[in-house]
Amino acid sequence: MLSKSVIGVLALQGAVDPHRLHIEAAGAEFRAVKTPAQFDEVDAFILPGGESTTMLKLIERFDLWDVLAAQFAAKPVWGVCAGVILMAQTVLSPAQRSFDLLPITVERNGYGRQLESCHVEIEGYKVSFIRAPVIKDAAESVHVRAVHKGDPVWLESGQYMLTTFHPEMSLDFPSPMHRAFLARVEKFYAKKAA
């Protein structure tokens, strides 16, 4: 792409603003988005961490389900933590509605109460797990990019990327995950133009 990629962070609930400096440092434009007109203007989405049940309620209350499903089918999407839960095919404990963007099964709060939150290094970068989901199952078509304690925590498939952890809380800009997502967005549009 000739111009800067515009990355829309879905701004209904959750950790939206911490993505801004990572996105800008990676050379793209940050937008907090919550209306269909704003969705139309972005090249890709980040579904942030937060509470997936609250996000679902707001999506339904504002009648955004169909418009978001159409956007997600057409553009790159990165789900962070709660965002992973929204993107999964199947959600457990408890089951809830999801956009079914890729063939994975996730268990909400799968690390249990003992490990509600912790910091670890993924590819040498400090990230946070905060009441994270556990990926219980992923089809072979889904590429596992990083594993933590035996569980896949960073996955990629086509135009989609997932991290069950938060890289955006670290203040070393940009995170390798933001960089990787931007590269994915650029590749997606280069392929489309070819």
* Least distance in angstroms from the C-beta of 58 to ligand GLN: 13
125: three-class secondary structure by DSSP: strand
* 19 binds ligand GLN per the rule CB under 6 A: no
- Note the helical H segments in 26-148: 36-40, 52-61, 65-74, 82-87
Q: Is 49 in the site for ligand GLN (CB under 6 A)?
A: yes
- String marking each residue 114-153 x if it binds ligand GLN according to CB under 6 A: ----------------xx----------------------
1 or 146: whose CB is closer to ligand GLN? 146
Query: According to the binding rule CB under 6 A, does residue 81 interact with ligand GLN?
Result: yes
Q: In what order do the strands lie in the sheet with 143-148?
A: 29-33, 6-10, 44-47, 77-80, 160-163, 151-157, 143-148
Q: How many CB atoms lie within 10 A of CB 104?
A: 25
Question: Which of 50, 46, 52 has the alpha carbon at shortest distance from 28?
Answer: 46
What's the CA gap between 150 and 19, in Å, rounded?
A: 27
User: Scanning residues 91 to 110, which ones bind ligand GLN (CB under 6 A)?
Assistant: 108-109
Token couple for 44:
């890709």
Residue 24 near ligand GLN by CB under 6 A: no
**Listed ranges 43-51, 118-126, 142-150, 154-162: which one lies at the site for ligand GLN (CB under 6 A):** 43-51
The residue range among 44-52, 136-144, 149-157, 174-182 that interacts with ligand GLN, by the rule CB under 6 A, is 44-52
> Buried b / exposed e across 129-141, counting CB within 10 Å, b at 16+?
bbbbbbbbebeee
Nearest distance from C-beta of residue 190 to ligand GLN, angstroms: 31
To ligand GLN, the closest distance from the beta carbon of 27 in angstroms equals 26
Report, as residue numbers or ranges, the catalytic residues: 81, 166, 168
